Amino acid sequence: MIVDLQRFLANERPVWSELEGMLDQLEREPGVRMSLEQAQRFHCLFERTAADLAKLRTFSSEPETRRYLEHLVARAYGEIHETRDRHRGFRPLHWFFATLPQTFRRHLRAFAMSLTVTVAGCLLGGLALALDPEAKPVLMPFPHLQQDPAQRVAQEEQATADRLAGAKTTFSAFLMTHNTKVSILTLALGMSWGVGTVLMLFYNGVILGAVTVDYVAAGQARFLLGWLLPHGAIEIPAILIAGQAGFVLASALIGWGSRRPLTARLRQVSGDIVTLIFGVALLLVWAGFVEAFLSQYHEPVIPYTAKIAFGALELAALTLFLARSGGTRRGRDEETASFINGGVPAKSERASA
Amino acid sequence: MNSPSLEIRTPEGICFSQMLAGPIARFLAWSLDLFCILVLLTLVSYLALLLIFVSPGLAVALNTLGYFVISIGYGIVCEWFWRGQTLGKRVCRLRVVDAEGLRLQFHQVVIRNLLRFVDALPFLYFVGGVVCWFSPKCQRLGDIAGGTVVIRHPRLLEPDLDQVLPGKFNSLRQYPHLAARLRQGVSPAEAALAVQALLRRDHFQPEARVALFAELAAHFKSKVDFPPEATDGIADEQYIRNVVGVLYSEH
């Protein structure tokens, strides 16, 4: 049987036009809230159009009308069946003080892995330099690190002119963008089942370990702390969090111990990954400012003790923020349970996030 | 070759499909976007030049930050505010949608754009292109991570079938029992073929048009044998028009 297309079009066209009008309005104003009557009417129009599509697919194969109806049904389906939160206006303070630290805590295992890989890299880099100091150009292939640490400290402390005069803003912008790109790459390489993320973190660790051993062996530990701690206290955790996001992605991709399909696993973590990487970007903006405006100034301009104290204070504040901010006692219990159960998200946290 | 499509089945049991965009169309759209990004970067650098008299350091910093923000933010901002489209995608009539047909979320847009860092490796989106080529849903890595697909979004207007279904005299309707038999014996695919031939008739070369309608008329005549007075003196194209009239309209 083939439908009476003329009568079918005459009867149904007003329904399709009304649905199309409502969809256009919803797409123009995503924040608009329908009244109950409007929602009922919208649902009724969707069901009728879907039924028309089914009828047309079964009894006629006029392709243009079918494609038009498929397009309408697809648009309406997305509006009706979406169960995730509608974008209700972004609350930056709530996001920063609650969502970000909660998300960080929800994926503590991934952070622990990120930290472990970096520490392993540090140990290898440090050990390699201690055993073979000639390997310095290979381990730290950066011109400004090739100098003897004692010589560099002497130069820095005797400098009378500000070598960053007029270039601090530029240097700061360069640091922010470069470090953010590295962090995004570390996250994105999670798509290589985490292998790329491991390599990035490990390589960073190797450089950090080699630099540390180089300066400590030369008796310049105080200079090193004063130089690295003010910005490193934020920058290094930021890179670790980017690694954490990469491992969250890799873990969803691999899906160990989960029976959910790949798309559902990725869908579950994608919001958290975005939260983490935005948090990383904010931390790196701060670190960029500190590195350009503070870290490059040494004694006698700024006492090392003050710089070390500043860095330690930053690290303590960051640790406190990530560990406690946005959590209730009940929430913390659920987080602990979630951590023990292998990172399964806590119910109340997911709801509040 | 049929273009790949994304089939979605709703809880109501309705199936619908969306045409997926292949790597070539997407590359074209990306090329246009790259051009737009370059234009924006040029504008920012001119703006920075103005600042150079105030503070050269600030001008260079603005340039560096502008490059970074535009190259990363262009895709995110456009796709979020234009519901899955950038300027290049608009021109090529492509759109990013949720892979399950649901509403596109902000974090999906962000993830698919951040993952460009891997898709673009080692040059000119080689990784993304290869993955897209072999993916059943034509997804690059960013699409897989974000749960999105890129569909073709042709301009769809309500079809104008009135031109093939006018209320003119139809000689086949004089024989209602044979018309009913025709309706029973013709499959939807055969009927669609006849409709499409009529809708596109002006696009054919004259010889091809005559040959096509002759073949179609012969096919439909073999289905039901109408008496000579209903078919004699009617051109093959008119015969097909009458057949379509019978198939798609009871009156």
Residue B139: its pLDDT value, please?
95
A123-137, A330-344, B119-133, B136-150: least confidently modelled range: A330-344
Roughly how many angstroms between the first and final C-alpha of chain B, as a whole number?
39
d(CA B31, CA A92): 34
For residue A316, give how far its alpha carbon lies from the nearest alpha carbon of chain B (Å): 30
Residue A313: its pLDDT value, please?
97
Closest CA to A51 of A76, A32, A26, A83: A76
Residue A348 has pLDDT above 60, yes or no: no
Closest CA to B175 of B111, B224, B137, B129: B224
Cβ neighbours of B75 (radius 10 Å)? 23
Residue A181: its pLDDT value, please?
96
Give long-range contacts, CB 8 A cutoff, 24+ apart: A134-137: A136/A210, A136/A214
Quick check: helix, strand or coil at residue A334? helix
| Final residue before a domain boundary, out of A21, A47, A81 | A81
Residue B8: its pLDDT value, please?
85
Q: Encode burial over A256-266: b for 16+ CB neighbours within 10 A, e otherwise.
A: eeeeeeeeebb
Location of structure tokens 């006692």? A329
Confidence class for position A95, pLDDT limits 50, 70, 90: very high
Q: What is the per-residue pLDDT across B155-193, written as a single tens digit (0 to 9) for each?
A: 655 556 666 655 667 788 788 888 888 877 887 778 878
Location of structure tokens 């540390």? A212
d(CA B116, CA B142): 6
Q: Note whether residue A244 is domain-resident.
A: yes
Q: Encode burial over A167-180: b for 16+ CB neighbours within 10 A, e otherwise.
A: bbbbbbbbbbbebb
Contact B101 A78 (CB under 8 A): yes
Closest CA to A253 of A240, A243, A262: A262
| DSSP string covering A175-223 | HHHHHHHHHHHHHHGGGGTTHHHHHHHHHHHHHHHHHHHHHHHTT-HHH
Residue A347: its pLDDT value, please?
42
Residue A336: its pLDDT value, please?
47
Q: Note whether residue A89 is domain-resident.
A: no
Q: Is A2 on the interface with B (CB under 8 A)?
A: yes
Same domain, A77 and A113: no
Asked if B75 contacts B116 with a C-beta cutoff of 8 angstroms, the reply is yes
Give the mutation candidate from A1, A5, A181 for the B interface (greatest B CB count, under 10 A): A5
Asked if A217 contacts A209 with a C-beta cutoff of 8 angstroms, the reply is no
Q: Which helix (H) or strand (E) holds A90?
A: none
* CB-defined contacts A:B, below 8 A: 178
Same domain, A218 and A265: yes
A 259-278 residues with CB < 8 A to B = 263, 266-267, 270-271, 273-274, 277
Q: What is the per-residue pLDDT across B26-80, written as a single tens digit (0 to 9) for each?
A: 999 999 999 999 999 999 999 888 888 888 888 899 999 999 999 999 999 999 9
Contact B186 A2 (CB under 8 A): yes
Residue B164: its pLDDT value, please?
61
Q: What is the per-residue pLDDT across A7-53, written as a single tens digit (0 to 9) for each?
A: 777 788 889 989 998 988 887 776 677 888 988 999 999 989 988 88
A 185-244 residues with CB < 8 A to B = 185, 187-189, 191-192, 196
Contact A189 B118 (CB under 8 A): yes
Q: What is the mean pLDDT of chain A?
A: 86
CA distances (Å), origin A54, targets A3, A50, B186, B195: 12, 6, 19, 20
- Give the range of the structural domain holding residue A13, as residue numbers without chain letter: 5-81
Residue A349: its pLDDT value, please?
42
From chain B, the residues in CB contact with A255 under 8 A are none
Which of the 8 DSSP states describes residue A89?
A: -
Same domain, A288 and A238: yes
Q: Note whether residue A182 is domain-resident.
A: yes
Same domain, A64 and A116: no
Q: Looking at chain B, which residue has its C-alpha nearest residue A46?
A: B12
Contact B14 A50 (CB under 8 A): yes
Contact B250 A4 (CB under 8 A): yes
% of chain A residues with pLDDT over 70: 86
From chain A, the residues in CB contact with B118 under 8 A are 185, 188-189, 191-192, 196
Q: What is the per-residue pLDDT across B12-38, written as a single tens digit (0 to 9) for each?
A: 777 788 889 999 999 999 999 999 999
Residues 6+ apart with CB under 8 A from B86: B29, B33, B36, B74, B75, B78, B79
Same domain, A27 and A158: no
% of chain A residues with pLDDT over 90: 53
Q: Is A29 on the interface with B (CB under 8 A)?
A: no
Same domain, A36 and A178: no
Instruction: Note if the bond before A300 is cis, omega within 30 degrees.
Output: yes
* Averaged pLDDT for residues A301-317: 94
Same domain, A50 and A182: no
Q: What is the per-residue pLDDT across A241-270, written as a single tens digit (0 to 9) for each?
A: 999 999 999 999 999 888 899 999 999 999
What is the predicted ipTM?
0.83
Same domain, A65 and A26: yes
Confidence class for position A67, pLDDT limits 50, 70, 90: confident
Same domain, A52 and A22: yes
From chain A, the residues in CB contact with B165 under 8 A are 5-6
Q: Is the dihedral of CA A90, A91, A97, A102 positive or negative?
A: negative
CA distances (Å), origin B71, targets A174, B24, B39: 15, 21, 11
Same domain, A117 and A191: yes
Location of structure tokens 């950090």? A208
Tell me whether residue A69 is exposed, middle or buried, using C-beta atoms within 10 angstroms of its C-beta: 0 to 12, 13 to 18, 19 or more: buried
Contact B161 A5 (CB under 8 A): yes
A346-350, B126-130, B162-166: least confidently modelled range: A346-350
Q: Looking at chain B, which residue has its C-alpha nearest residue A180?
A: B68
Q: Note whether residue A226 is domain-resident.
A: yes
Contact B118 A6 (CB under 8 A): no
Same domain, A291 and A331: yes
d(CA A42, CA A52): 15
A 104-163 residues with CB < 8 A to B = none
| Stronger pLDDT, B143 or A70, i.e. the higher one | B143
Q: Note whether residue A88 is domain-resident.
A: no
d(CA B165, CA A212): 84
Contact A68 B158 (CB under 8 A): yes
The count of domains in chain A is 2
Contact A63 B83 (CB under 8 A): no
Residue A340: its pLDDT value, please?
40
Confidence class for position A343, pLDDT limits 50, 70, 90: very low
Residue A87: its pLDDT value, please?
56
Residue A329 has pLDDT above 60, yes or no: no
| Final residue before a domain boundary, out of A81, A104, A136 | A81
For residue B9, give how far its alpha carbon lies from the nearest alpha carbon of chain A (Å): 10
For residue B133, give how far its alpha carbon lies from the nearest alpha carbon of chain A (Å): 17
Residue B153 has pLDDT above 90, yes or no: no
Q: What is the per-residue pLDDT across A120-159, written as a single tens digit (0 to 9) for each?
A: 999 999 999 999 998 888 888 888 788 889 888 888 888 7
| Stronger pLDDT, B137 or B10, i.e. the higher one | B137
Quick check: helix, strand or coil at residue A268? helix
From chain B, the residues in CB contact with A266 under 8 A are 144-147
Residue B104 has pLDDT above 70, yes or no: yes
Residue A60: its pLDDT value, please?
57
| DSSP string covering A22-86 | HHHHHHH-TT----HHHHHHHHHHHHHHHHHHHHHHHH---HHHHHHHHHHHHHHHHHHH--SPP
Residue B68: its pLDDT value, please?
93
d(CA A195, CA A183): 15
Q: Encode burial over A154-163: b for 16+ CB neighbours within 10 A, e otherwise.
A: eebeeeeeee
Q: Encode burial over B166-188: b for 16+ CB neighbours within 10 A, e otherwise.
A: eeeebbbbebeebbeebbeebeb
Q: What is the per-residue pLDDT across A185-241, written as a single tens digit (0 to 9) for each?
A: 999 999 999 999 999 999 999 999 999 999 999 999 999 999 999 999 999 999 999
| DSSP string covering chain B | -PPPEEEEE-TTS-EEEEEBP-HHHHHHHHHHHHHHHHHHHHHHHHHHHHHTTT-HHHHHHHHHHHHHHHHHHHHHHHHHHTTS--HHHHHTTEEEEETTSSPPPHHHHHHHHHTHHHHTTTTTTHHHHHHHHH-TT---HHHHHHTEEEEE---------GGGS-----GGGG-HHHHHHHHHH--HHHHHHHHHHHHTGGGS-HHHHHHHHHHHHHHHHHHS---HHHHTT--HHHHHHHHHHHHH---
d(CA A124, CA A142): 18
For residue A224, give how far its alpha carbon lies from the nearest alpha carbon of chain B (Å): 27
Residue B138 has pLDDT above 90, yes or no: yes
Same domain, A53 and A146: no
Give the mutation candidate from A56, A70, A85 for the B interface (greatest B CB count, under 10 A): A70
Residue A345 has pLDDT above 50, yes or no: no
Give the domain ranges of chain B.
Answer: 5-152, 162-248
